[in-house]
Structure 1
Amino acid sequence: MLSIFDHGAFAPCPAPFNFTAHVLSQADVDPDKIALAVLSPAGSERWSYGRLKAAVLGTGTGLLQKGFKPGDILLMRLGNTVEFPLAYLGAIAVGLVPVPTSSMLTAAEVRKMVAQLSPAGILFDKDVACPDDTGLPMVETAELIAMRDLPPADYDMGDPNRLAYIIYTSGTSGIPRAVMHAHRAIWARQMMHSGWYGLTREDRLLHAGAFNWTFTLGTGLMDPWSVGATALIPAEGVPIDSLPLLLKRHDATIFAAAPGVYRKFLGSHETLDLPKLRHGLAAGEKLSDTIRQHWTDATGGKLIFEAYGMSECSTFISASPDHPAEPGTLGRPQQGRKVAIVGEEGPVECGKDGTIAVHKSDMGLMLGYYGEPEDTASKFQGDWFLTGDHASMSENGDISFHGRVDDMMNAGGYRVSPLEVEATLLPHPLIREVGVTDIQIKEDASIIAAFYTSDVDIPEADLKAYAAERLARYKQPRAWVRLDAMPTNPNGKLSRKALKPLFPRG
């Protein structure tokens, strides 16, 4: 049996179509319902669906009045405030193409984006790094706030396959790529509602991320709004250890966060009294069994449902309340997806290692990399888009993740997943964080090195003994390096490539 999951296609996207019109459709059903609450320990700022729609479409009017035209690209350099999603949806509503970016990027990094995209303008907050000599029109935060009260714009309806927005991904090469997505991408996200979230209009979903993170934009805002639920977002500056209080005080039913957030606040809370919470959601990086079990113990049995995805296709493999993951797996492709595990000759037999691939017909799949048609084509093998991640599929469709192709280590001729080694070492009682990679020590030899953070020095002999008890010899680190902090990318994920230069030589 081949490793192909195909249980039928999802309902086709209607035409004409507009991304924002779909997201805000519930505003016409229940305009007085709370769509968004921005939370702090002192209180909350609340937005009804009616107010949200008016502000979004007023922003659309303002952007058109500034002279921007449908099809124009707008680079977003805004902070962690509600202006971010309002501007994002307002631009898409009137046919503009926003490019949301992390506020942590430097001006030099943004300059490269400007050179690549040639945007028509920049939506700009003075506290966010941005080159000031681009010659482009700059729309500042104060102007965006004033636009909220303008008359509502009409939706720019059209082909659901036309370009709606662009997001940046780090790429397997380490060079950021501009990923183009169509208006239909929001329609495809409905497969996540039952296949991952268990989301209904009665839910109150608290996402721990910032407004200007694409994980928050999708899971924390767009998806709850498209079903008429309430989105809960911590205000800028709210500490992670305040999240349990906010979850309980605001009756959150679903909590979404990256695994690192779970780890941090579980570190200071042995028990969590969250009677209204049904479950948690995790994505962005592999969720360790240690965090998963700690959460379940602390909450009295509540589960975390993990999802796998990427900038090019969002999340498409997941566990859910209806289909919890089998032990050791991510879950399975969501209903309506067509996913395979492929090798050099195409889909492999069930149980065999290969590359996770998404069929080109998936409505959530990107249009391509901006200005890079050859790179786009190189990601396909026939009808399959190759993710660059290794996994295997059971006959039931459950996916066991083995790691990224470019992260897989070679030690003495054996291929080893860093995720397996890290998950084994992390439960060590003195290790706080750990990352492993292979280090070339001479031209024809590599070793596995473990980099870790801890509050105290740990004798290397103790670390070696701990690993020897839990890992086959060829999987055991041969070198151990204590760091003050683990290197991460702008989204807070561990950067294994950045570990290599930290290895002491000589």
Structure 2
Amino acid sequence: MTDAPGVEGQPEHAHFNLAEHCLARQARQFPDRRALVLIGEGGATEIWTYGALDTAVRRLAAGLKTLGLPSQARILIRAGNDSSFVLAYLAVIAAGHVAQPTSAQLTTEEVVALSLDSEASAVVLGRDYLTERAAFPHCVVLDPDEMARLATHPPLAAYAPTAPDDPAYLVHTSGTTSRPKGVVHAQRAILGRRPMHRDWLGLGEGDVLLHAGAVNWTYTLGVGLLDPWACGATSIIYNGPRDPAVWPRLIEGWRATIFAAVPTVFRQILKNCDIAAFDLTSLRHGVAAGEALAPQLLADWHAAAGTWIYESLGMSEISTFISSRPGEPIRPGSPGRPQTGRRVAVLPIDGGIDPLPAGEIGLLAVHRSDPGLMLGYWNRPEEEAAVFRGEWFVGGDLAAFDADGWLWFHGRNDDLMNALGYRVSPMEVEKVLAHCPGVAEAAVAETRVREDVSIITAFVVPQPGAAPGEQAVLAYCGAHLATYKCPRKVVLVAQLERTPNGKVSRKATARRFAPPHA
């Protein structure tokens, strides 16, 4: 266990607003510095300075306050990878409401379900989603024209006087049920990210951080936007066609100093690009999260690019808290050590609050005092109670510390799957498969196709006399689930493996029927 003093930067005043923390001081001190650069197809560029971003956010926040929504209303944001999403997210928080960002990959029915779960008062619809207007009769719909009208108001003189423990944003994550649960984060969550600025990102005022994700993904929202702004740095986001070669081109063209992505993106760059053809001398290092960084990929990137990739491990409930540190040696295969000030422990799997000694495998836990830890799960008191043991928040990750304090990951203690950095509940996928024509029963599990690559596989028992084809099953899933939740492979089986008490065993089914990986 690590038991250092608490994370630095707890709010000293009764009022604290996340959006204000990211913009107000910066707009006063260096209004003309680039805060956000959005690059589109053909190099089309949209640049926001801190001064312009601060003013635009306060204008839109003033407009939102005229809607008469209840205090701390949830406002769901359904927009593309563009500045409209960014402005809406910040303005909702600046106005004292709760931002609910959603992934563009979600289907309409998934997003409607999230809006109902959060009891959202309003939904921001981007231009690509206007056909969904009728799906939100329970919400005030704010389309681009209405958002433009709201943005004409005189800017708020001050950001909403929220308290540090007031909710700022709500994100949904897969749990152990078929229904995603809302994770509510406080205004102070931005201060809980400070340890990662030093101990993972190596981030400072002069940095230019390029993130390979879309702004409506929580990894990008945090690392790609909020973290650079909290430090007064510049964020670069690309929203054009996806081509692995675009990333080294952008690093070269914009003199990026830090590149953030999932390991898969680094792998694609190496596979499809001649790194030597680009000038990457501005790049100090890369950072990776969302999935395990294979030691061979780390070595290959360093050999080709001359820089290291620093890995991290986190959860939706707290973001990253374990990481390797810029400028210090890396232990390939380990995501790193607890960041400075974090209280992190490995607790016994079967219960108890006494941390296990080095070398023993248990459940990874973070102390309740961490300012980055969630306020709780939205309207899920039973699930919330289940993840706390005394003063410890206990996730489902199995891990062990070595004698030097490095963490070694040993998988999940439940059946949750990892798909390109997203946690996916097998029950959510199985719920859809249960209605698929020709399917009598299904189990879903994460299976390996290579030593460092896993996919979601559906094991399907056909209805009598039926023979559902793989493409038909995949197409059905694609119509009802976000792309990242969809199985990549379908295996027809006569029956699913079960436990002695008759419960389907996903892991045993996968062990028996999954094709061997390369």
Contact kept in structure 1, 2:459 and 2:492, CA below 8 Å: no
Q: Which among 283, 286, 302 is matched to residue 280 of structure 1?
A: 286
Q: Which among 361, 365, 370 is matched to residue 357 of structure 1?
A: 365
Report Cα offsets for 1:258-294 as digits up to 9, x if no partner.
1222222221114243010000011111122232222
CA distance in 1, matches of 2:315, 2:376: 13
Counterpart position of 1:338 = 343
CA distance in 2, matches of 1:491, 1:302: 34
Q: Which among 128, 134, 145 is matched to residue 136 of structure 2?
A: 134
Contact kept in structure 2, 1:305 and 1:324, CA below 8 Å: no
Q: CA deviation at 1:407?
A: 4.3
CA distance in 1, matches of 2:390, 2:493: 44
Letter of the 1:282 partner, please give it.
A
Aligned pairs for 1:65-144 within 5 A: 65-128=66-129, 130=132, 132-135=134-137, 136-144=139-147
1:248 aligns with 2:252: yes
Counterpart position of 2:491 = 503
Q: Give SS of 2:245's match.
A: helix
Counterpart position of 1:13 = 11
CA distance in 1, matches of 2:319, 2:78: 22
Letter of the 2:201 partner, please give it.
Y
Contact kept in structure 2, 1:332 and 1:398, CA below 8 Å: yes
1:309 aligns with 2:306: no
Q: Give SS of 1:76's match.
A: strand
Letter of the 2:335 partner, please give it.
L
CA distance in 2, matches of 1:13, 1:490: 40
Q: Give SS of 1:53's match.
A: helix
Q: Which among 356, 360, 368 is matched to residue 348 of structure 1?
A: 356
Q: Give SS of 1:503's match.
A: strand
Counterpart position of 2:422 = none
Counterpart position of 1:28 = 28
Contact kept in structure 2, 1:106 and 1:130, CA below 8 Å: no
Letter of the 1:279 partner, please give it.
H
Aligned pairs for 1:81-480 within 5 A: 81-128=82-129, 130=132, 132-135=134-137, 136-153=139-156, 154-272=158-276, 273=278, 274-299=280-305, 301-343=306-348, 344-345=351-352, 346-407=354-415, 422=448, 425-426=451-452, 433-435=453-455
Q: Identity of aligned pairs, percent? A: 39
Q: TM-score normalised to the size of structure 1?
A: 0.81
Q: CA deviation at 1:237?
A: 3.1
Q: CA deviation at 1:120?
A: 1.1
Counterpart position of 1:55 = 56
Counterpart position of 1:39 = 39
CA distance in 1, matches of 2:328, 2:389: 30
Q: CA deviation at 1:84?
A: 0.7
Contact kept in structure 2, 1:160 and 1:183, CA below 8 Å: yes
Distance verdict in 2 for CA 1:385–1:490, change over 3 Å: farther
Letter of the 1:504 partner, please give it.
L
Unaligned runs of 5+ in 2: 418-444, 462-473, 495-518
Contact kept in structure 2, 1:55 and 1:147, CA below 8 Å: no
CA distance in 2, matches of 1:407, 1:289: 25
Q: TM-score normalised to the size of structure 2?
A: 0.79
Contact kept in structure 2, 1:339 and 1:357, CA below 8 Å: yes
CA distance in 2, matches of 1:388, 1:492: 24
Q: CA deviation at 1:216?
A: 0.8
Letter of the 2:285 partner, please give it.
H
Contact kept in structure 1, 2:35 and 2:50, CA below 8 Å: yes
Q: Counting helix residues as a fraction of each chain, which structure ranks higher?
A: 2
Report Cα offsets for 1:180-214 as digits up to 9, x if no partner.
11000011111110011000100000001111111
CA distance in 1, matches of 2:70, 2:337: 41
Letter of the 1:305 partner, please give it.
Y
CA distance in 2, matches of 1:394, 1:327: 14
Contact kept in structure 1, 2:4 and 2:340, CA below 8 Å: yes
Report Cα offsets for 1:229-261 as digits up to 9, x if no partner.
110111243533311111101100000011222
The alignment of Structure 1 onto Structure 2 pairs a total of residues equal to 441
Contact kept in structure 2, 1:101 and 1:167, CA below 8 Å: yes
Q: CA deviation at 1:7?
A: 1.8
Q: Give SS of 2:325's match.
A: coil
Q: CA deviation at 1:145?
A: 3.6
Distance verdict in 2 for CA 1:423–1:120, change over 3 Å: same
Range with bigger deviation, 319-328 or 371-380: 319-328
CA distance in 1, matches of 2:172, 2:188: 18
CA distance in 2, matches of 1:371, 1:175: 12
Range with bigger deviation, 37-46 or 68-77: 37-46
Contact kept in structure 1, 2:460 and 2:493, CA below 8 Å: no
Range with bigger deviation, 185-194 or 338-347: 338-347
Q: CA deviation at 1:57?
A: 0.7
Q: CA deviation at 1:118?
A: 1.6
Report Cα offsets for 1:42-72 as digits up to 9, x if no partner.
2422111100101111110111123324311
CA distance in 2, matches of 1:81, 1:440: 39
Q: CA deviation at 1:95?
A: 0.4
Report Cα offsets for 1:324-371 as digits up to 9, x if no partner.
432321101110110001103331111111111011111111111101
Q: CA deviation at 1:423?
A: 9.3
Q: Give SS of 1:184's match.
A: helix
Letter of the 1:31 partner, please give it.
P
Distance verdict in 2 for CA 1:188–1:490, change over 3 Å: farther
Report Cα offsets for 1:208-228 as digits up to 9, x if no partner.
111111111110011101111
